[in-house]
Amino acid sequence: MKVMLGISGGVDSSVAALLLLRAGHQVEGLFMQNWEEDERSGPCTTDADRKDAVAVCGRLGIPFHARNFAGEYWDGVFEHFLAEYRAGRTPNPDVLCNREIKFKTFLDEAHALGAEKIATGHYARVDCRDGRYRLLRAVDAAKDQSYFLHALGQKPLAATLFPLGGIEKPRVRELAREANLPTHAKKDSTGICFIGERDFRGFLSQYIPARRGEMRSPDGELIGEHEGVMYYTLGQRNGLGIGGRHGASSEPWYVVGKDVAANVLFVAQGGESRWLHSRRLQSEAPTWVDGIAPATHFRCTARTRYRQTDQSCTVTVTDNGLDVSFDDTQRAVTPGQSLVLYDGEVCLGGAVIAATDAAYGGLLPSV
């Protein structure tokens, strides 16, 4: 079949193209530009990545396409990113980018170019059982990206191939070297392109003016001054600027809460401070891979951040979202981040975390 591959200029999408060709598909590559570089955002790797993508397509003998989705990215991802930070939350733009750009805008463009399916270099798997598509974890648990793909529904999954889902990353590098792909030794990209190598605070301050305020302990003691509550996230240790204090222990300080309205940042000593702990959370409206919840009340495992080990929990579907109770105490569960639910290797879906029963989590301890 004709498959349009989202080619990024990295080793993963390069090997995905190679595997699709070996499977007998008619493969074409499409490079997505999702950000317009300017003085505020600083250097991004778009030009270099595009050149690498062209080189890979040339090496493999497949057609190359390029499209600028910067406008769609700004409207569908970046404005939400800024709104969340203004509200004092910590968003995950990768989840929204996958749903709105890579598996929606890109999918529509691929169909317009005559492709039957799309493919990407994500580490995940898709299968179909009883007419319903399932999102599965990748074989390489260390690289699994189902967490970032949990918001995909039946339509995009039915049209998507994940060639790397069944192999491990060292084998990907090996295949790239064997095929003499120009990206075989290229370093994996990390972080968000629109921030680039710039300091995060410096980038964010170009869009949300800094507003200094008080940094206090949970009992109200004035500890210092913060640069702006939107710059900090729960559990953060670095960048607080708190030195040794007379009469205090030598334990490091951590962010344990925010009062956005009062512009106060709360900090406490100790990485396992009780102020960071929670057992319950409430979420915004969920998205389900299958289109519907598996039940209104069920057991499963969950992750509240990428690379976290699975945590056993009980989920109740409410009118407004999810109410989740964990078997074990959780540390630094952060509003704005994604809760992703699993049944074994199957990703069920997920939702944005709205509140927790931590001291400053916004949720009362009792149901």
Give residue-wise pLDDT tens across range 109-153: 999 999 999 999 999 999 999 999 999 999 999 999 999 999 999
Q: How many domains does the chain have?
A: 3
Instruction: Report pLDDT digits (tens) over 269-286.
Output: 998 889 999 999 999 999
Residue 197 lies in a domain: no
Return the higher-pLDDT residue of 193 and 32: 32
Residue 119's contacts (CB-CB under 8 Å, 6 or more residues apart) are 3, 4, 5, 6, 16, 20, 160, 161, 162, 163
pLDDT averaged over the chain? Answer: 92
Whether 193 is a known active-site residue: answer yes
CATH code of residue 262: 2.30.30.280
Check 44, 57, 193, 313 and give the catalytic one.
193
Residue 293 sits in the same domain as residue 249:
no
In the prediction, which pLDDT does 43 show? 55
pTM for the structure as a whole: 0.93
Last residue of one domain, picked from the residues 138, 158, 178: 178
Check 97, 300, 313, 347 and give the catalytic one.
97
Q: How confident is the model at residue 367 (pLDDT cuts 50, 70, 90)?
A: very low
Residue 250 sits in the same domain as residue 289:
no
Residue 50 sits in the same domain as residue 172:
yes
Q: Which domain holds residue 325?
A: 277-356
Whether 97 is a known active-site residue: answer yes
Residue 185 lies in a domain: no
CATH code of residue 282: 2.40.30.10
Last residue of one domain, picked from the residues 271, 305, 324: 271
CATH code of residue 85: 3.40.50.620
Residue 12 lies in a domain: yes
Residue 9 lies in a domain: yes
In the prediction, which pLDDT does 242 show? 87
Question: In whole angstroms, how large is the CA radius of gyration of the chain?
Answer: 22
Q: Once rounded to an integer, what is the mean pLDDT over residues 296-307?
A: 97
Residue 285 sits in the same domain as residue 323:
yes
